């Protein structure tokens, strides 16, 4: 069963590119919290995340984001203002500074300049705001990208392999930067979908991790003996694990889960991420013509 109030609800959704299925038609739902999406390069993670961000249309089926049918123009337009999206190796204009990137985003998100400056402070880039993005360290540059993507305080944030550059560094400073960024990412919005090439990088701090391979989404089950390669999520202050399948309770309007302390919204300047996710997947979905897999909605909840 898929809860209707999940942030992302896919029904028979299939994604194709270049004549092949990146995701075969499937039904699943993603509720609150940080959900990881892992898979090797080229498997279609970026395309799937862009579909979640409504920037691509699914090839088949229906995709509801934050309660709106993205196949409908009005619904898609209404929900886009509530989504934050940072593509992999996000780009910026030549000579653009962090401040300019955030201001540029703020214009399109209809956020006033003072509010944009507050966001920069909260993301810890106020001191570097006038430095060109190309000259900033990767972690500060990522903070600027996150600030631009989330300047409007979205309800759903989709991040395409944001820590890739830092993982490639493999230095102590990079590990420290990753440790600082993980709680920041977790607190960006009530629902955060983040991707990485390897699931073990996501498992320690994501509520659930899905792996995408050969057109199918599967739940990642970490091996008990596998050592963690990334810092783990710090202890949540006031957060409540919220599994929709168990409670069926909808999230609070301002993004905090039911039962969470008042005002515990996902603000990066707060002491730690306030919430954890609930993810629910029903896999696989039987495509009408393919005749494989189980019927829609018959998958087990997570």
Partner 1 sequence: MSELGRVLRLDARRAALLIAVPLLTGIGIVTAWLSLVPGVAYWDNSTVILIGSVRLLGPVAAGVAAWAAVRERGLDYLRDLSPRSPATGALLDLALLAAAAMIAYGTVTAVVAVETALRQAAGRPSALGMLAGAAALLLHVAAGYLAGRLVPRPVTAVAVMALAGAWAAVRVPGASWWSLLPPAALEEVELFTALRARVLADQALWAAAGTASLVLAYVACTARRAVLAVPLALALAATGAATARLHASGGDAAAPAPARPACRHWPLQICVHPALRSALPALMTAVTPLATRLSGTPGEFTRVVQRPAAEPLTVANGTASIHLDDALTPGYEQRAVQQIQNALADPRSCAAPRHPGYRELVDAWLLGRRAPRIADATAASRFASWDEERRRSWLRTNYAQYRRCDLGPSDFRPPRRLPVRVPRDRR
Site residues (vs partner 1, CB under 8 A): 53-55, 73-74, 77, 80-81, 83-87, 90-96, 100, 103-110, 113, 148-149
Least distance (Å) between residue 226 CB and partner 1: 33
Instruction: Compare residues 23 and 148 and give the one whose CB is closer to partner 1.
Output: 148
Instruction: Compare residues 160 and 174 and give the one whose CB is closer to partner 1.
Output: 160
Instruction: Give the integer Cα–Cα distance in Å for 263 and 168.
Output: 37
Least distance (Å) between residue 25 CB and partner 1: 25
Instruction: Compare residues 91 and 170 and give the one whose CB is closer to partner 1.
Output: 91
Buried b (16+ CB within 10 A) or exposed e, 253-284: eebbbeebeeebbbebebeebbbbbbbbbbbb
Q: Does residue 234 have a cis peptide bond before it, meaning omega lies within 30 degrees of 0?
A: no
Least distance (Å) between residue 93 CB and partner 1: 5
SS3 78: helix
Least distance (Å) between residue 50 CB and partner 1: 9
Instruction: Give the integer Cα–Cα distance in Å for 100 and 56.
Output: 27
Instruction: Compare residues 77 and 214 and give the one whose CB is closer to partner 1.
Output: 77
Instruction: Compare residues 42 and 114 and give the one whose CB is closer to partner 1.
Output: 114
Instruction: Give the integer Cα–Cα distance in Å for 95 and 35.
Output: 34
Token code pair at residue 47:
């395309």
Least distance (Å) between residue 91 CB and partner 1: 4
Q: Which alpha helices (DSSP H) does 133-204 contain, by range?
A: 138-149, 164-169, 172-186
């Amino acid at each position: 069963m898929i809860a209707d109030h999940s942030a992302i609800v896919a029904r028979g959704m299939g994604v194709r590119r270049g004549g092949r299925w990146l995701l075969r038609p499937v039904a699943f739902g993603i509720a609150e919290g940080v959900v990881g999406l892992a898979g090797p390069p080229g498997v279609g993670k970026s395309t799937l995340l862009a579909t979640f961000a409504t920037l691509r249309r699914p090839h088949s089926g229906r995709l509801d984001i934050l309660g709106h049918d993205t196949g409908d123009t009005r619904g898609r337009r209404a929900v886009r203002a509530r989504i934050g999206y940072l593509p992999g190796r996000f780009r910026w204009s030549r000579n653009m500074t962090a401040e300019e990137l955030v201001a540029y985003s703020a214009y399109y998100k209809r956020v006033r300049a003072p509010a944009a400056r507050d966001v920069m402070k909260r993301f810890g880039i106020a001191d570097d705001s006038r430095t060109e993005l190309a000259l900033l360290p990767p972690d500060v540059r990522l903070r600027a990208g996150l600030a631009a993507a989330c300047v409007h305080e979205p309800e759903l944030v989709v991040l395409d392999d944001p820590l890739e550059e830092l993982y490639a560094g493999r230095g102590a400073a990079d590990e420290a930067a990753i440790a600082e960024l993980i709680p920041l990412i977790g607190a960006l919005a009530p629902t955060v979908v983040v991707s990485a090439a390897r699931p073990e990088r996501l498992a320690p701090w994501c509520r659930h991790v899905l792996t995408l391979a050969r057109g199918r989404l599967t739940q990642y089950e970490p091996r008990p003996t596998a050592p963690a390669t990334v810092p783990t999520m710090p202890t949540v202050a006031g957060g409540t694990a919220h599994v929709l399948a168990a409670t069926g309770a909808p999230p609070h309007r301002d993004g905090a889960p039911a039962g969470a302390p008042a005002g515990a919204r996902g603000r990066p300047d707060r002491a730690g991420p306030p919430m954890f996710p609930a993810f629910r997947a029903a896999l696989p979905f039987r495509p009408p013509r393919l005749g494989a897999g189980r019927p829609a909605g018959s998958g087990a909840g997570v």
